[in-house]
Amino acid sequence: MEKRDDQSGRFHLPSVAFTVLAALGQSAGLILAKAALNTGMSSLYATLWRMIAALGTAALFAALFRFARPRAGAHWKGGAALALLGGAVFGPFLGVWLSQVAIKYTATGIASTILSTTPIFLIPVAAIIEHEKTTWRAVLGAVVAVAGVALLFLR
């Protein structure tokens, strides 16, 4: 079986740098959200502001890198619009809204830890829907992550 470049085991400095920047951005977002929610702002209103900021950022990147131009021959197929709507509702809207509720009613560190377990739920989805082979490392990582979250509640 041929190894893809992202599984080669090589150290890629840009990947690490962007990973650290993403972690810092997530941390700053959680801290700022907690500060805003402590002022009495509703979780739904905070979600609206996060969506507006995300839309503005996406529009800026689209303008800078010209992603907004439609590709020749690009068109909707089958249930693509319905799938896109479902993804927009369940991901960015409900996911962000419920994360804001979690941040509002619990400690930021605990909320962050629980929110970080989202990729665990993708393992069975990838196995069942995408027919990807689940490795023992993925299962072990999921077990360790769930055990870590469980430890938070045992204290």
Residue-wise pLDDT for 63-122, tens only, equals: 887 765 566 555 666 677 788 788 888 888 888 899 899 999 988 888 888 888 888 888
What is the pLDDT at residue 3?
Answer: 45
Residue-wise pLDDT for 30-69, tens only, equals: 898 899 999 999 999 988 888 898 889 888 887 887 765 5
The domain spans of the chain are 13-67+82-106, 117-155
pTM score of the predicted model: 0.64
CA distance 20 to 98: 25
pLDDT at 1 over 50: no
CA distance 12 to 21: 14
- For the record, the structure tokens of 58 come out as 């996406």
* Token pair 């990838």: residue: 126
- For the record, the structure tokens of 63 come out as 């303008």
- Contacts of range 43-48, beta carbons closer than 8 Å, 24 or more positions apart: 43/97, 43/100, 43/101, 43/104, 44/97, 44/100, 46/100, 47/93, 47/96, 47/97, 47/100
